[in-house]
Amino acid sequence: MTVFEGRFTDVAGLRIGLVIARFNDLVTGKLLSGCLDSLSRHGIDVSPESTQLDVAWVPGSFEIPLVAQRLAASGRYQVVITLGAVIRGDTPHFDVVVAEVSKGVAAVARDTGVPVIFGVLTTDTLQQALERAGIKSNLGWSYGLQALEMGSLMAALPQPTP
């Protein structure tokens, strides 16, 4: 029996694309900080001169799938991380955005074969979002780990036959 697992080491050749929403940047900025800290502590160069990491800013979470699709389809990245925050308001807008961004991100991964980490918080309140972005724990750290694990796992799996 062969067991395939991702690892958090040997990340020298791993290239990561990161898509982050500006909307709710109080939250997304904290997620980004946690994610970069996680990646850096595990050997990814996150400096401005990095050849391992590229960051694309989008206006809001709704725009994440389109840019994630472009990055994943480019062949340049082994994994894409998405970061956003959708906070429930008084209108159905929340439900529409959450449904579309989650379906869109999943479709990108399926269509391209590139793992796309879903780091879009969906919360009822700003307080809940802040708790998940650093007050209690920073999920950005976890999203960084997920990217490393999936990048490593995909490299270890057998390649599809043409």
Determine how many CB atoms are found less than 10 A away from the CB of residue 65: 22
Answer yes or no: are the C-beta atoms of 161 and 155 closer than 8 Å: no
Query: 30 φ, ψ to 5°?
Result: -70, -40
Active site residue 93: yes
Stated as kind and residue range, the H or E segment containing 101 is helix 93-112
Comparing CA positions, the residue from 2, 25, 13, 1 lying closest to residue 129 is 25
Distances in Å between the alpha carbon of 49 and those of 6, 76, 128? 27, 16, 34
Query: Which of the residues 41, 76, 93, 110 is marked catalytic?
Result: 93
Helix boundaries (H) for 18-92:
25-41, 64-73
| Catalytic sites, residue numbers | 93
